[in-house]
Chain A
């Protein structure tokens, strides 16, 4: 980066920086990654652009590469860790410090940023925390996997004007709902964001959040306009989601392990190759069935069949990337339907998902599941 001709060159496009960082991040080369990020800032890149246009897409690409089976779990975790270190490193760049110090004088107020319990994807929340700091807010960043009692204790102690909760995993939305209600009960408005809230944040208002933001910059812009109004008086989950009264979500959540056992026990008679599975392969299959049940429960919680269908078609894609025919999912859905015959919403969701997977390319199940891995 010490090329004297660099000054004369046109500014390097964002995607070029992303490509440069990509190699370093996926190789776990944090030094090279830090060098590149610092060079981008030295080159005059805005810190918000670096966070939102370079690092965030990089993280999204990590997820896509994993889904496409071009990256191992270890590589995924390593890349995420390097990204986290990168954000910490650039926060100390002189230009960034200067900006933060300038805006700190605005004394905008205090904001808590956290991921709920069971949510391990901290990076989006971390970026939100950094951007809000850059905009002059006093941010308490609590990180990933924050048990709700700790979060509420923090709100009582610090009384922030807002809490921002990030969720990436859809199956944690019921827990996110409980956290939203608990935060609002303390009188603190809740802004939510993250992939779990669906396209255009469709689940955010369903779960009674006081605001939703597509990314950190939108969140910061929204808060710069006006404070979120104080939340509505304390309520319970069923006030937002009256369909929970049919107990389908409760039933499936409470009997989840029995459902998984049942499906796992019957599956070999539908998928002959399973008879010869090793313990390890059977365990993987069990984990995958548990995941399907988890998503079904979440779809029932939100009363959104599309969530379940979307998950299964995505799963089918993942399977195809790992040379497992998507049709191997069908017997599991059928066995679940048998067990849940008395639950009309669940049955409807299973039928829809079944139809969606059957539709594309019909192939036989006999091809088997490589490594016992559905997912």
Chain B
């Protein structure tokens, strides 16, 4: 602002300190008359001393002065409400097109006569603009930070779409729509309206219905919103109270190399259209949303592949096998893993063979993690192929040994084979250990016996030997197969002890007559509590129990033939 030199002499100007200051200053007495003013004030108000403030100043300043001099006897600056304009003792308002801040300084004693007030009036137009811009920038930064932290935390496509539309509808527009790439015949679409409610749908849509959408879905540069006619928006975009949007922007959601979808922003009619600046910001937001949606999509694809490949390696479900109760549990070494080097499998008896035995195997491949798990898969497949010979454990082990020696691997495996046959109310087990811990027999009365079987481990020597034990289980007795992950668990209350065979036997002594799932759970719970949060090896257990009485088929509600089975209120097979 130009400050013209003083017109008059020094008589009617403020003291010399104030005079050269580029801010307008004027002294006004209690009756509202301008007593003195500096050059800047003369220029600003076009006034001379002696005129009424009300005649030259804007209403907000006049009201501020009255509030101080007239209606507020204590004269505390800003203590009187003046239409909400007071701020830390200052008053704000506009003069012409510019924004000013006025700060009062009270002069003279109240008791000694009329109080005069000196007003400093400062042009803050630029500052005000910068503050507003800063506010907008802060909001945008906060939005991007929130978007990033929410989006990065999710690897679920639907959730990412939900976060995107919700944030966009709240901060960038009145309503927002995200359209994901086609999945089969439909496009997943998420919509969030002004009420903040998110709606997910799978729609068969024609992308060309929406101006700019087909381009955005292909990752092309966005069509400027001024080229888009919002009234052309189809019903699935302009919904409910947003039926007739006033403005529409279509932005690509850039993914990893390909488009992750498109974001449509809608504003109500009578709202301002989207400025170029807003469109640029929407693209910044879209970049984050697109990256998150791409990652989520990729994760879903990878997870599906992993599950498919993994399904063969996962331990089978157990419940019962040919009239014998069975329960198994598996805990891989890593919390994030599903499989490892321990394994078990069940092979039901051939129904056509009256002398058929079912076979259970539990083993431990040297090594951990996925590589070991892949080998367990091969071993399980080999054993399945050898099933016709399963009656002769030594023969099965010899063939498996040959297979492993030929295979291009230096790994070996220890395992236990258990052939199971119902015999009256009891069960006859043939148990053979190949370099593995011998199974433990837990009698109903709590007596624990070790099965008398031992043999060479598999995959190292050309010739292997083994001794098979035959064990009879009476109703309620359990045979427990386990891997050394249980007994070699390190931990305990003192932190460095091994769980050990002896402790396992003592604990099993308390488990006589338990159902197999309770026994297996008990063993795993003891081992888990033993290791606490420390590292541990893979742990696997299988419990084979001779049913205490007639078999309960109600556990899964199905009869032996797989059909729902219920007879006079009883669930007995």
List residues of chain A with CB within 8 A of the CB of B410: none
Complex: chain A residue closest to B565, CB-CB: A92
Judging by beta carbons under 8 Å apart, are B150 and A260 in contact? no
From known contacts A72-B510, A81-B514, infer whether A88 and B555 are also in contact, taking CB-CB under 8 Å.
yes
List residues of chain B with CB within 8 A of the CB of A120: 521, 525
A-B CB contact pairs (8 Å), 25 listed: A30-B515, A31-B549, A31-B550, A38-B571, A74-B510, A74-B514, A77-B518, A81-B514, A85-B515, A88-B557, A147-B336, A149-B335, A150-B335, A155-B156, A156-B155, A156-B156, A156-B303, A187-B150, A187-B156, A187-B162, A234-B153, A256-B495, A283-B492, A286-B492, A286-B494
Nearest-Cβ distance from residue B493 to partner chain A, whole angstroms: 4
Is B528 at the interface (CB under 8 A from chain A)?
A: yes
Judging by beta carbons under 8 Å apart, are A117 and B335 in contact? yes
Complex: chain B residue closest to A258, CB-CB: B495
Contact residue among A38, A159, A287 (Cβ-Cβ distance under 8 Å from B159) = A159
Judging by beta carbons under 8 Å apart, are A157 and B335 in contact? no
List residues of chain A with CB within 8 A of the CB of B153: 185-187, 234
List residues of chain A with CB within 8 A of the CB of B336: 147, 149-150
Contact residue among B517, B564, B569 (Cβ-Cβ distance under 8 Å from A1) = B569
Nearest-Cβ distance from residue B16 to partner chain A, whole angstroms: 56
Judging by beta carbons under 8 Å apart, are B155 and A78 in contact? no
List residues of chain A with CB within 8 A of the CB of B163: 187
Contact residue among A35, A159, A187 (Cβ-Cβ distance under 8 Å from B569) = A35
Bound-state Cα–Cα, A234 to B493, Å: 35
Bound-state Cα–Cα, A77 to B523, Å: 11
Chain B residues in the interface with A (C-beta under 8 A) = 146, 149-150, 153-159, 162-163, 166, 296, 299-300, 303, 335-336, 338, 492-496, 506, 510-515, 517-519, 521-522, 524-525, 528, 548-550, 552, 554-557, 564, 569-572
Judging by beta carbons under 8 Å apart, are A92 and B514 in contact? no
Judging by beta carbons under 8 Å apart, are A234 and B150 in contact? yes
Is A223 at the interface (CB under 8 A from chain B)?
A: no
Judging by beta carbons under 8 Å apart, are A78 and B513 in contact? yes
Judging by beta carbons under 8 Å apart, are A287 and B493 in contact? yes
Is A289 at the interface (CB under 8 A from chain B)?
A: yes
Judging by beta carbons under 8 Å apart, are B552 and A81 in contact? no
| Given A257-B496, A260-B493, A264-B494, 5 new contacts (CB under 8 A) | A28-B515, A145-B528, A149-B336, A156-B156, A234-B149
Nearest-Cβ distance from residue A217 to partner chain B, whole angstroms: 24
Contact residue among B150, B493, B569 (Cβ-Cβ distance under 8 Å from A257) = B493
Bound-state Cα–Cα, A73 to B552, Å: 24
Judging by beta carbons under 8 Å apart, are A92 and B510 in contact? no
Is A113 at the interface (CB under 8 A from chain B)?
A: no
From known contacts A77-B514, A81-B515, A156-B154, infer whether A31 and B571 are also in contact, taking CB-CB under 8 Å.
yes
List residues of chain B with CB within 8 A of the CB of A88: 554-557
List residues of chain B with CB within 8 A of the CB of A257: 493-496
List residues of chain B with CB within 8 A of the CB of A42: 569
List residues of chain B with CB within 8 A of the CB of A117: 335
Bound-state Cα–Cα, A78 to B327, Å: 14
Complex: chain A residue closest to B160, CB-CB: A187
Is A340 at the interface (CB under 8 A from chain B)?
A: no
From known contacts A80-B518, A260-B494, infer whether A85 and B555 are also in contact, taking CB-CB under 8 Å.
yes
Contact residue among A85, A159, A261 (Cβ-Cβ distance under 8 Å from B158) = A159
Judging by beta carbons under 8 Å apart, are B557 and A89 in contact? yes
Is A10 at the interface (CB under 8 A from chain B)?
A: no
Bound-state Cα–Cα, A88 to B554, Å: 8
Complex: chain B residue closest to A256, CB-CB: B495
List residues of chain A with CB within 8 A of the CB of B338: 150
Complex: chain A residue closest to B506, CB-CB: A280
From known contacts A31-B552, A233-B149, infer whether A159 and B512 are also in contact, taking CB-CB under 8 Å.
no
Bound-state Cα–Cα, A335 to B150, Å: 47
Judging by beta carbons under 8 Å apart, are B494 and A91 in contact? no
Bound-state Cα–Cα, A34 to B557, Å: 11
Is A214 at the interface (CB under 8 A from chain B)?
A: no
List residues of chain B with CB within 8 A of the CB of A234: 149-150, 153
Bound-state Cα–Cα, A149 to B155, Å: 13
Complex: chain B residue closest to A253, CB-CB: B533
List residues of chain A with CB within 8 A of the CB of B157: 159
Is A118 at the interface (CB under 8 A from chain B)?
A: yes
Give the interface centre of A35, A78, A158 by most chain B CB atoms within 10 Å: A78
Judging by beta carbons under 8 Å apart, are B494 and A85 in contact? no
Contact residue among A28, A91, A261 (Cβ-Cβ distance under 8 Å from B557) = A91
Bound-state Cα–Cα, A132 to B166, Å: 28
Bound-state Cα–Cα, A155 to B569, Å: 39
List residues of chain A with CB within 8 A of the CB of B512: 74
List residues of chain B with CB within 8 A of the CB of A85: 515, 552, 554-555
Mask for A314-345, Cβ within 8 A of B = 1, else 0?
A: 00000000000000000000000000000000
Is A153 at the interface (CB under 8 A from chain B)?
A: yes
Mask for A283-313, Cβ within 8 A of B = 1, else 0?
A: 1001101100000000000000000000000
Bound-state Cα–Cα, A57 to B524, Å: 26
Bound-state Cα–Cα, A156 to B160, Å: 10
Judging by beta carbons under 8 Å apart, are A74 and B511 in contact? yes
Contact residue among B156, B511, B557, B571 (Cβ-Cβ distance under 8 Å from A159) = B156
Judging by beta carbons under 8 Å apart, are A290 and B493 in contact? yes
Bound-state Cα–Cα, A280 to B522, Å: 19
Complex: chain A residue closest to B524, CB-CB: A145
Nearest-Cβ distance from residue A325 to partner chain B, whole angstroms: 22
Judging by beta carbons under 8 Å apart, are A81 and B156 in contact? no
Complex: chain A residue closest to B166, CB-CB: A230
Is A39 at the interface (CB under 8 A from chain B)?
A: yes
Nearest-Cβ distance from residue B74 to partner chain A, whole angstroms: 42
Bound-state Cα–Cα, A292 to B153, Å: 36
Bound-state Cα–Cα, A78 to B496, Å: 31
Nearest-Cβ distance from residue B491 to partner chain A, whole angstroms: 9
Bound-state Cα–Cα, A158 to B510, Å: 41
Is A168 at the interface (CB under 8 A from chain B)?
A: no
Nearest-Cβ distance from residue B373 to partner chain A, whole angstroms: 16
Contact residue among B159, B510, B556, B570 (Cβ-Cβ distance under 8 Å from A186) = B159
List residues of chain B with CB within 8 A of the CB of A111: none
Complex: chain B residue closest to A188, CB-CB: B159
List residues of chain B with CB within 8 A of the CB of A92: 554, 556-557, 564
Bound-state Cα–Cα, A233 to B146, Å: 7
Contact residue among A74, A157, A286 (Cβ-Cβ distance under 8 Å from B303) = A157
List residues of chain A with CB within 8 A of the CB of B552: 30-31, 34, 85, 89
Mask for A77-96, Cβ within 8 A of B = 1, else 0?
A: 11011101100110110000
Q: Within A122-158, which residues are at the interface with B (CB < 8 Å)?
A: 145, 147-150, 153, 155-158
Mask for A86-114, Cβ within 8 A of B = 1, else 0?
A: 00110110000000000000000000000
Bound-state Cα–Cα, A230 to B528, Å: 34
Judging by beta carbons under 8 Å apart, are A38 and B569 in contact? yes
From known contacts A156-B303, A187-B162, A234-B153, infer whether A28 and B335 are also in contact, taking CB-CB under 8 Å.
no
Bound-state Cα–Cα, A306 to B528, Å: 28
Bound-state Cα–Cα, A287 to B163, Å: 47
Judging by beta carbons under 8 Å apart, are A34 and B159 in contact? no
Bound-state Cα–Cα, A158 to B528, Å: 28
Bound-state Cα–Cα, A15 to B175, Å: 55
Mask for A343-373, Cβ within 8 A of B = 1, else 0?
A: 0000000000000000000000000000000
Judging by beta carbons under 8 Å apart, are A157 and B156 in contact? yes
Judging by beta carbons under 8 Å apart, are B303 and A28 in contact? no
Bound-state Cα–Cα, A149 to B154, Å: 13
Complex: chain B residue closest to A294, CB-CB: B532
Bound-state Cα–Cα, A155 to B157, Å: 11
